[in-house]
């Protein structure tokens, strides 16, 4: 299948049908249908922020696709109503928030549908569809208010009026995640909402895939990756959205782990649930256990009237024991291929009980800081969702018995909190709260005992990076040649819009200085924002995949691997060495704005799907960077709000998905998060990065910070700043993302690396180890397979215009000016022109945008415009070669809110020396 076909298939398989009374869907011949809701036309394709900022090749719109598919054998759609919406849309255009970062509203202004209007259209139509749109994203959480988590007043009133005259109504959720779904059964709707489906945001095939499902050209086979309940019933809600800290007192009881254990009656739609247009019969044909390895085989038969796919879900119920556990935990799943009517397939789920051991962070089992299997009976359940899965038997036994409690794996305490609080515990099905075990580590001692060995400095011995490519055993000898300044340059990334990599992507790293690049032949690697596709801020177009939640709802890792093989190929074509994705943080609460990038409330499903993505990108020729390690559970104050949680919750829930991906063996790049975890910022958190990720999991790939992350002292904690890069290195986080372009070698942000090397707070061996990880990443990256390009590729411009148009304003080099439609630059000699600019961006968030400098309508350079909190900032853009003549210089802002106060061009005359002919 083509990339577009795989995007379409993923979008269809990840859409979830949650209600279909009377089988009013799919729409069929004889149905006359009214489509209400403005998002039929303004159909969302992705969430907000870097995760969805792809200049898409094309997009598809629901109503357009429905009308395109209409013929004598299909349902028909009321064209008059379509025209009414189109006319209303002209007066009420889509509100994108002015294009500002996180500026788009959660929901768009909706056209009111009066009872009279609804009745008029009901006279000639039998069914109604109501499309509801919601968006959130980076720097923008949802809120439990109308028009966000809840229906707006207009949406509610519209549905009341529609349901008063239509007996068969389907609600379609074109949303970035789950929202309040309890309204479906409100008495105000007279029981007329017969069907509901989450079609999420399906990338550039969003409208096409949703239309195909509604028309029955494709069948729903998605399963929910989250539990749907009322917002007040999620145990995390009362500790969500705090600016200073969020106490994870619900502990391991996230999503269905909580609801299945304590509050089954609060579940509206269970985790793993999803309907189909057909029916299936599932017969367990084999259920056995051998040395704690459980094998389940099931024969699944399509007993309905159309083709479809079904998923077998297997859950484990471990003895509650001394630790207290969730009553159900997903242990495995398998999805069938496409089954025609009457066709059957046998699927197999296999897992080992030890992979689902619980973590004892207190020593209550006798095995402190260990993964433990407690004595007792282990029950296994299988079915099509977490709530209704049925207990299986093993011959004459109803469970697997373990006669003694034992440690599966002994660990060291790492990531435990310093703050006292109480956490939720299961005591025989009742909620009780216990004191959380506190951190007792002598971290200063641990660090000193585990310092890496220093590689003695040798100076340049003539070993190039090309030599290391041929013989990787030369890596230490290669690093030994590099002095402190060169080493420090390598651990700083540059961006955005660096001319040293594919223009318009997010960062450049590696051989960023002339000595590293020209003398040692270290190439410059580049990464691009994801995870839904490649973000290129020059406007270059790329493919847009479905959002992460939709990808997870496929429950189909084989399909997802195929999808990301194509993404890997596209990365290679664009000369990009890593996609910044997938995002695999846990859906702790439905209000997290960035949930659309992430996959699920369940760490096992998260890990399995994410591992498939990483494998796919690798097979396609590039790499993925999993993020955000860890506990990025909200967007409000995301770079300062402390995630306070137990070591057990950290390991079992929030790190488990990362662990699965790391141990799958294909990961080479990982990004830490902005937030502090138990008082230590993630980018400099020694216990989560050095002790768990590096030492326990044996991960030796690249670790990078998030963009403009803050760090604090690894041991003392305290205030965090962007200058604490030495503590990042001590935590074995390899590279700081990012400093401004050309800022790595000169230490533009004034970080404390060299200072801490001098005063003994950092060792040379620690710095060298981070450099080694970066260089090992570059060795396997696509950039090492390409010829070494020039450090900077300078664009050259020629013009036929010798004079500006009459009445135009002209400026010469070295004169500051503000480009506009009437400004022309006169150049009297050929030269290399250094472009710089001064700008202000009022917001104080971490938004990332650029202003492109256009010469005669072509991109020439760019100003990286991050938020300046109201302070004018001067940045260097890049260099261009201009030949004599007159050029039209304009600006192109990728985001609003940027005010450029001046631009300047300064040249140096091209001579044999400046051209490099004479050394």
Q: Which of 44, 18, 24 is nearest to 184 (CA)?
A: 18
The pairing of strands 676-677 and 400-402 is unpaired
Distance CA(137)–CA(779), nearest Å, equals: 34
Q: Are the CB atoms for 556 and 206 separated by under 8 Å?
A: no
Rg for the chain, CA atoms, rounded: 29
Work out whether the CA dihedral 138, 139, 141, 147 comes out positive or negative.
Answer: negative
Q: Report how far apart the first and last C-alpha atoms of the chain are (Å, whole number).
A: 53
- Using the 8-state DSSP alphabet, how is residue 57 labeled? S
- 700 class by beta-carbon count within 10 Å (0-12 exposed, 13-18 middle, 19+ buried): middle
Q: Are the CB atoms for 521 and 468 separated by under 8 Å?
A: no
Distance CA(880)–CA(475), nearest Å, equals: 36
Contacts (Cβ under 8 Å, ≥6 apart) of 64: 41, 207
Q: Are the CB atoms for 714 and 753 separated by under 8 Å?
A: no
- The helix (run of H) or strand (run of E) holding residue 608 is helix 603-620
- Using the 8-state DSSP alphabet, how is residue 594 labeled? G
| φ/ψ of residue 339, rounded to 5 | -100, 125
Q: Which of 182, 103, 171 is nearest to 140 (CA)?
A: 103
One-letter-per-residue 3-state SS of 452-475:
CCCCCCCCCCCCCHHHHHHCHHHH
Q: Which of 879, 781, 771 is nearest to 489 (CA)?
A: 771
Distance CA(316)–CA(243), nearest Å, equals: 36
Angle formed at CA 452 by CA 451 and CA 457, multiple of 5 degrees: 125
Q: Are the CB atoms for 657 and 586 separated by under 8 Å?
A: yes
| φ/ψ of residue 157, rounded to 5 | -65, -40
Helix 79-91 and helix 62-69, axial crossing angle in degrees, nearest 10: 150
Per-position DSSP letters for 716-776, written without gaps between them: TEEEEETT-HHHHHHTT--BEEEEPTT-TTTTTT--SHHHHHHHTSS-HHHHHHHHHHHHH
What does each C-alpha distance from 195 to 101, 173, 278 come to in angstroms? 35, 11, 15
CA atoms within 13 A on the CB side of 435: 8
Distance CA(167)–CA(171), nearest Å, equals: 13
Catalytic residue among 141, 180, 226, 706: 706
CA 149 from centroid of its chain's CA atoms? 21
Q: Provide the strand spans (E) within 157-239.
A: 169-175, 193-198
Contacts (Cβ under 8 Å, ≥6 apart) of 516: 482, 486, 489, 490, 510, 522
- The helix (run of H) or strand (run of E) holding residue 273 is none
- Using the 8-state DSSP alphabet, how is residue 911 labeled? -
- The helix (run of H) or strand (run of E) holding residue 203 is none
Q: Extract the tokens encoding 736.
A: 């700081």
Q: Extract the tokens encoding 664.
A: 């799958």
Q: Please say if 706 is a catalytic residue.
A: yes
Beta bridge partners of residue 383, listed in sequence order: 313
Known catalytic residues are 706
């Amino acid at each position: 299948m083509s990339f577009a076909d795989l995007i379409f298939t993923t979008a269809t398989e990840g859409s979830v049908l949650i209600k279909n009374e009377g089988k009013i869907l799919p729409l069929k011949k004889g149905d006359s249908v009214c489509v209400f809701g403005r998002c039929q036309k303004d159909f969302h394709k992705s969430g907000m922020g870097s995760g969805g900022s792809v200049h898409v090749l094309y997009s598809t719109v629901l109503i357009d696709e429905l009308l395109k598919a209409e013929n004598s054998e299909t349902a028909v759609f009321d064209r008059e109503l379509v025209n009414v919406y189109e006319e209303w849309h002209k007066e009420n255009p889509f509100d994108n928030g002015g294009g500002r970062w996180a500026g788009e509203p959660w929901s768009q202004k909706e056209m009111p549908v009066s009872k009279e209007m609804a009745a008029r259209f009901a006279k000639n139509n039998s069914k109604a569809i109501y499309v509801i749109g919601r968006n959130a994203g980076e720097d923008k959480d949802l809120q439990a208010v109308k028009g966000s988590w809840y229906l707006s007043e207009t949406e509610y009133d519209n549905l009341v009026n529609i349901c008063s005259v239509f007996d068969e109504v389907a609600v379609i959720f074109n949303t970035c995640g789950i929202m309040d779904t309890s309204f479906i059964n409100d008495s105000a709707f007279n029981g007329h909402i017969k069907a509901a489906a989450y079609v999420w945001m399906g990338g550039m095939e969003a409208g096409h895939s949703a239309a195909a499902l509604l028309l029955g050209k494709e069948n729903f086979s998605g399963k929910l990756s989250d539990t749907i309940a009322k917002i007040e019933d999620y145990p995390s809600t009362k500790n969500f959205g705090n600016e200073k800290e969020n106490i994870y007192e619900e502990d391991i009881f996230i999503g269905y782990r909580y609801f299945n254990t304590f509050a089954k009656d609060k579940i509206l739609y269970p985790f793993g649930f999803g309907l189909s247009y057909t029916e299936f019969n599932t017969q367990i044909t084999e259920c056995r256990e051998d040395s704690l390895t459980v094998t389940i085989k099931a024969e699944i038969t399509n007993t309905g009237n159309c083709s479809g796919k079904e998923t077998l879900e297997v859950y484990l119920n471990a003895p509650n024991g001394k630790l207290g556990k969730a009553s159900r935990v997903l242990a495995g799943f398998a999805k069938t291929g496409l089954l025609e009517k009457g066709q059957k397939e046998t699927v197999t789920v296999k897992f080992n009980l030890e992979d689902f051991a619980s973590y004892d962070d207190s020593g209550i089992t006798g095995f402190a800081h260990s993964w433990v299997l407690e004595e007792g009976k282990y029950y296994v359940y299988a079915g099509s969702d977490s709530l209704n899965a049925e207990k299986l038997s093993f011959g004459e036994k109803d469970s697997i018995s373990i006669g003694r409690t034992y440690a599966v794996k002994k660990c060291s305490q790492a990531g435990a909190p310093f703050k006292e609080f109480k956490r939720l515990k299961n005591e025989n099905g009742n909620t009780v709260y216990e004191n959380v075990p506190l951190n007792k580590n002598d971290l200063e001692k641990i660090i000193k005992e585990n310092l890496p060995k220093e590689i003695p400095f040798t100076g340049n011995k003539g070993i190039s990076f090309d030599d290391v490519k041929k013989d990787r055993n030369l890596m230490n000898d290669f690093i030994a040649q590099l002095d402190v300044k060169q080493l420090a340059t390598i651990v700083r990334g540059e961006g955005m819009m660096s001319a040293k990599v594919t223009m318009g992507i997010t960062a450049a790293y590696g051989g960023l200085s002339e000595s590293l690049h020209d003398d040692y032949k270290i190439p410059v690697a580049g990464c691009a924002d994801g995870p839904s596709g490649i973000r290129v801020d020059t406007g270059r177009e790329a493919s847009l995949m479905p959002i992460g939640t939709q990808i997870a709802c496929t429950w189909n890792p084989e399909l997802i691997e195929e999808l990301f093989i194509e993404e890997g190929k596209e990365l290679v074509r664009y000369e990009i060495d890593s996609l910044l994705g997938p995002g695999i943080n846990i859906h702790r609460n439905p209000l997290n704005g960035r949930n659309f990038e992430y996959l699920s409330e369940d760490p096992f499903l998260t890990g399995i799907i994410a591992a498939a993505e990483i494998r796919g990108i690798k097979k396609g020729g590039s790499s993925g960077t999993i993020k955000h390690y860890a506990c990025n559970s909200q967007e409000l104050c995301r770079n300062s709000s402390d995630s306070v949680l137990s070591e057990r919750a950290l390991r079992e829930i929030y790190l488990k998905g990362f662990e699965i991906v790391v141990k799958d063996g294909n990961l080479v790049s990982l990004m830490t998060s902005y937030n502090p975890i138990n008082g230590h910022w993630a980018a400099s958190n020694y216990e989560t990065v050095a002790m768990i990720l590096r030492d326990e999991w044996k991960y030796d790939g690249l670790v990078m910070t998030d963009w403009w992350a803050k760090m604090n002292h690894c041991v003392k904690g305290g205030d965090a700043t962007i200058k604490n890069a030495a503590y990042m290195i001590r935590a074995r986080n390899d590279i700081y993302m990012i400093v401004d372009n050309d800022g790595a070698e000169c230490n533009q942000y004034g970080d404390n690396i060299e200072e801490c090397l001098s005063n003994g707070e950092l060792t040379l061996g620690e710095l060298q180890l981070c450099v080694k990880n970066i260089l090992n990443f570059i060795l396997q990256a696509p950039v090492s397979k390409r010829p070494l390009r020039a450090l900077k590729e300078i664009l050259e411009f020629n013009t036929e215009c010798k004079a500006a148009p009459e009445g135009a304003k002209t400026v010469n080099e070295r004169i500051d000016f503000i480009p506009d439609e009437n400004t022309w630059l006169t150049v009297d000699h050929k030269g290399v022109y250094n472009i710089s600019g001064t700008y202000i961006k009022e917001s104080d968030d971490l938004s990332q945008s650029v202003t492109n400098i256009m010469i005669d309508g072509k991109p020439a350079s760019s100003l990286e415009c991050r938020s300046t909190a109201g302070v004018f900032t001067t940045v260097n853009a890049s260099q261009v070669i201009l030949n004599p003549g007159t050029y039209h210089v304009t600006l192109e802002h990728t985001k609003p809110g940027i005010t450029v106060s001046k631009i300047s061009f300064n040249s140096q005359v091209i001579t044999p020396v400046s051209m490099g002919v004479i050394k």
